[in-house]
């Protein structure tokens, strides 16, 4: 079980203590060229969540490799690098350049940012090109905005992804209370926070059943109970996003809460919860007899 | 920065604004112009507030109830609890020879603590109405102007200006006093550099106000 941050929701160099409270730090998405991001305003609170249209602001791969990555490597926390491109070849190039860097534990392929206009090629193509370019473990970050997410996950699996990160934000719109114009300069933005949780859980549930791949589950996790539900849906690891903005101590708190939840559930170790939501509904005495079996 | 769960110790009306007192909870009050993220009850995101006063054992924030989060904060009662995170960002440089504090509207919020730290220097405060101008009582040695008179009409020459207020006021002060220190604001989800929401154009690039500011030299920002 690992607790990570969702890509783009923490700057480890600005907040190293918070990064070290995670089991792994996931970078903001790195693109081939520097990107300034979208014009402000680029965040807005909504009921039960927030919208962002940051737009993949990042220094670009050259500067990331020369300046950012060496410093991340000194933090003492496992580093996952999120990469994003605008063509299949971009992903291959980015993975190729990260391949021999010892600081990088995992590469996460962001094939699903809702805040850029260029929609890249199919997920299968991208994962296949990335797979050919690196020996590093690959996690593919999926969008919930698709008719059949299990089909996308299967395509990623066939193309060689080692795991899935899910879900990315989903497009939402907020209008200013007085002017009725969009709150964000870009118009719509990515919805995150508790409003995203049921959507994310459904995606994890479907992809676990379809692929059996390791999943980092994310989308509106604010408590140990939320994390437990993601584990039960099939994600052995979870990532925190919006909750880090309001509570940077959330990783430690959620780790404790999750342990308490598992203790109360009486199923023994966390491993026994992974995918539990897929089991046939327990009879009235099944949970307690399973506990007896585990402890016996 | 530290995060603490603190108790509300008082809430008083200052004109249309609310001065919210909370227990200090072991938090450092920081440098004037720095800010704290206050949990807004019932809302997904906290709200950035500069520290207004640092009475012994307390922190106090001047809040204008203009939206759902600030309304929730202004409705807090003594005994209620909330989480606060801070101090955050960069405050005012206090190594100035002839300080003059300039504030507009709710932008007077950081000036009482700043005034105390600088030995109660002169201040010029602008408000949109007599009612709003009641907040001037929190700032010693203040000259008050009411719209349609603006603070820029009342800033004497030869001072080191430290200002906070609405963007048009800060832009006008920057033109008049290029050496001024200005405290800006921007929508912010986290306050500690994680969300990239508070981007402002600085030296021709979009940068995070919570990391680079909120207090900046007048020449740094294109208003």
User: Residue B199: its chain A contacts at CB < 8 A?
Assistant: 37, 40, 42, 54, 57
Q: Is there a contact between A193 and B85 if contact means CB atoms under 8 Å apart? A: no
User: Residue A9: its chain B contacts at CB < 8 A?
Assistant: 194-195
pLDDT digits over B132-171, tens only?
A: 999 999 999 999 999 999 999 999 999 999 999 999 999 9
**CB A262, CB A28: distance < 8 Å:** no
Backbone angles phi, psi at A127, to 5 degrees: -65, -40
Could you tell me which chain B residue has the CA closest to the CA of A19? B194
User: Residue A36: its chain B contacts at CB < 8 A?
Assistant: 205-206
User: Residue B71: its chain A contacts at CB < 8 A?
Assistant: none
Q: Is there a contact between A15 and B46 if contact means CB atoms under 8 Å apart? A: no
The mean per-residue pLDDT over the stretch B55-70 comes to: 97
Classify the C-alpha dihedral B126-B130-B134-B140 as positive or negative. positive
Chain B interface residues (partner A, CB cutoff 8 A) = 3, 37, 39, 43-46, 68-69, 83, 85, 186-190, 192-200, 205-206, 211
What is the least distance, in Å, from the CA of A164 to any CA of chain B? Answer: 23
Percent of chain B scored above 90 by pLDDT? 95
Indicate whether A211 belongs to any domain.
yes
**CB B124, CB B51: distance < 8 Å:** no
CA distances in angstroms from A227 to A216, A223, A282, B13, listed in the order given? 11, 6, 21, 42
Residue with tokens 């019932």: B42
User: Residue A39: its chain B contacts at CB < 8 A?
Assistant: 206
Return d(Cα B189, Cα B169) in angstroms, integer: 25
The angle, 0 to 180 degrees and rounded to 10, between the axes of the packed helices A250-265 and A224-233 is 60
Choose, out of B37, B72, B83, B195, the residue to mutate when testing the contact with A (most A CBs < 10 Å).
Answer: B195
Indicate whether A103 belongs to any domain.
yes
Indicate whether A225 belongs to any domain.
yes
Question: For residue A144, what is the domain's CATH number?
Answer: 3.20.20.70
| Number of separate domains in chain A | 1
pLDDT, residue B53, reads 98
Indicate whether A166 belongs to any domain.
yes
Indicate whether A199 belongs to any domain.
yes
Residues in CB range of B18: below 8 A, 6 or more apart: B11, B12, B62, B63, B65, B73, B74
Q: Among A9, A95, A113, A183, which one carries the catalytic annotation?
A: A113
Indicate whether A49 belongs to any domain.
no
pLDDT, residue A295, reads 45
Q: Which of B39, B189, B193 sits opposite A50 (nearest CB)?
A: B189
Opening angle at CA B104, ends B72 and B142, nearest 5: 115
User: Residue B195: its chain A contacts at CB < 8 A?
Assistant: 9, 43, 52, 54, 245
Range of the domain at A211: 3-38+54-171+191-295
pLDDT digits over A131-159, tens only?
A: 999 999 999 999 999 999 999 999 999 99
pLDDT, residue A280, reads 81
pLDDT digits over B195-207, tens only?
A: 999 999 888 889 9
Return d(Cα A81, Cα A107) in angstroms, integer: 5
Look at residues B87, B80, B86, B38 and name the one whose alpha carbon lies nearest to residue B63. B38
**CB A108, CB A136: distance < 8 Å:** no
What is the least distance, in Å, from the CA of B154 to any CA of chain A? Answer: 32
User: Domains, chain B, ranges and CATH?
Assistant: 2-88 (2.40.30.10), 99-222 (3.40.50)
Q: Is there a contact between A193 and B39 if contact means CB atoms under 8 Å apart? A: no
Indicate whether A78 belongs to any domain.
yes
User: Residue A15: its chain B contacts at CB < 8 A?
Assistant: 192-194
Q: Is there a contact between B199 and A57 if contact means CB atoms under 8 Å apart? A: yes
pLDDT, residue A281, reads 75
Which alpha helices (H) appear in A134-279, and where do they start and end? 149-158, 197-211, 224-233, 242-246, 250-265
Backbone angles phi, psi at A242, to 5 degrees: -55, -35
pTM > 0.90: yes or no = yes
pLDDT, residue B34, reads 98
Range B45-78 burial, b when 16+ CB lie within 10 A, else e: bbbbbbbbbbeeebbbbbbbeeeebbbbbbebee
Return d(Cα B10, Cα B38) in angstroms, integer: 15
**Neighbouring-strand partners of residue A175:** A182
**CB A3, CB A255: distance < 8 Å:** yes
Range A268-296 burial, b when 16+ CB lie within 10 A, else e: eebebbbbbbeeeeeeeeeeeebeeeeee
Q: Is there a contact between A246 and B198 if contact means CB atoms under 8 Å apart? A: no
What is the least distance, in Å, from the CA of A139 to any CA of chain B? Answer: 22
Chain A interface residues (partner B, CB cutoff 8 A) = 8-11, 14-15, 18, 28, 36-37, 39-46, 48-50, 52, 54, 57, 193-194, 242, 244-249
Complex confidence, ipTM: 0.94
Q: Is there a contact between A42 and B197 if contact means CB atoms under 8 Å apart? A: yes
Give the number of other Cβ atoms within 10 Å of residue B9's Cβ: 17
Indicate whether A44 belongs to any domain.
no
| Cβ neighbourhood burial of A160 (10 Å; 0-12, 13-18, 19+) | middle
pLDDT digits over B24-62, tens only?
A: 999 999 999 999 999 999 999 999 999 999 999 999 999
**Which stretches of chain A score pLDDT less than 70?**
113-121, 282-296
* Whether residue A95 lies in the annotated active site: no
What is the least distance, in Å, from the CA of B116 to any CA of chain A? Answer: 30
Q: Which of B46, B193, B197 sits opposite A43 (nearest CB)?
A: B197
In what helix (H) or strand (E) does residue A124 lie, and over which residues does it extend?
helix A123-133
What is the least distance, in Å, from the CA of A253 to any CA of chain B? Answer: 13
Give the number of other Cβ atoms within 10 Å of residue B152's Cβ: 17
**SS3 of chain B: helix, strand, coil, percent, to 5:** 20, 35, 45
């Amino acid at each position: 079980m690992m607790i990570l941050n969702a890509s783009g929701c923490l700057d480890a160099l600005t907040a190293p203590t918070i990064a070290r409270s995670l089991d792994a730090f996931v970078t903001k998405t790195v693109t081939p060229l520097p990107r300034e991001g979208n014009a402000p305003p680029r965040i807005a609170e909504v009921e039960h969540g927030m919208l962002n249209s940051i737009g993949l602001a990042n220094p670009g791969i050259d500067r990331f490799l020369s300046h950012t990555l060496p410093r991340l490597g000194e933090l003492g926390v496992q580093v996952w690098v999120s990469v994003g491109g605008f063509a299949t070849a971009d992903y291959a190039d980015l993975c190729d350049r990260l391949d021999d860097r010892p600081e990088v534990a995992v590469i996460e392929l962001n094939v699903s940012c809702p805040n850029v206009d260029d929609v890249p090629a199919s997920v299968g193509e991208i994962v296949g090109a990335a797979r050919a370019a690196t020996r590093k473990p690959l996690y593919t970050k999926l969008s919930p905005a698709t008719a059949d997410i299990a089909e996308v996950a299967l395509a990623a699996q066939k193309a060689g992804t080692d795991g899935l990160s899910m879900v990315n934000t989903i497009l939402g719109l907020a209008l200013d209370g007085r002017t009725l114009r969009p709150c964000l300069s870009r118009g719509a933005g990515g919805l995150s926070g508790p409003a995203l949780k049921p959507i994310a859980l459904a995606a994890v549930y479907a992809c676990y059943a379809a692929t059996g791949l390791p999943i980092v589950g994310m989308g509106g996790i604010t408590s140990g109970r939320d994390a437990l539900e993601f584990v039960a849906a099939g994600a052995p690891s979870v990532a925190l996003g919006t909750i880090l903005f309001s509570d940077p101590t959330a990783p430690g708190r959620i780790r404790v809460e999750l342990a308490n939840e598992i203790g109360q559930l009486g199923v023994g170790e966390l491993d026994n919860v992974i995918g539990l939501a897929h089991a046939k509904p327990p009879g009235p005495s099944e949970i307690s007899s399973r506990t007896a079996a585990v402890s016996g | 920065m530290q995060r603490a769960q603190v108790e509300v110790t008082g809430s008083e009306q200052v004109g249309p604004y609310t001065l919210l007192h909370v227990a200090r909870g072991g938090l450092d009050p920081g440098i004037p112009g720095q800010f704290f993220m206050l949990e807004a009850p019932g809302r997904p995101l906290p709200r950035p507030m500069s520290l207004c006063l640092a009475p012994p054992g307390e922190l106090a924030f001047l809040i204008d109830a203009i939206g759902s989060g600030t309304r929730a904060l202004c409705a807090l009662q003594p005994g209620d609890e909330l989480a606060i995170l801070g101090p955050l960002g960069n405050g005012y440089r206090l190594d100035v020879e002839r300080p003059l504090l300039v504030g507009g509207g709710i932008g007077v919020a950081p000036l009482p603590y700043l005034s105390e730290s600088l030995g109660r220097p002169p201040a010029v405060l602008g408000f949109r109405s007599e009612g709003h101008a009641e907040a001037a009582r929190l700032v010693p040695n203040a000259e008050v102007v009411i719209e349609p008179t603006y603070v820029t009409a009342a800033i004497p020459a030869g001072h080191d200006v430290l200002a906070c207020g609405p963007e048009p006021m800060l832009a006008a002060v920057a033109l008049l006093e290029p050496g001024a220190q200005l405290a800006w604001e921007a929508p912010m989800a986290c306050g500690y550099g994680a969300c990239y929401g508070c981007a402002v154009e600085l030296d021709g690039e979009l940068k995070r106000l919570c990391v680079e500011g909120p207090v900046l030299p007048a020449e740094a920002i294109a208003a």
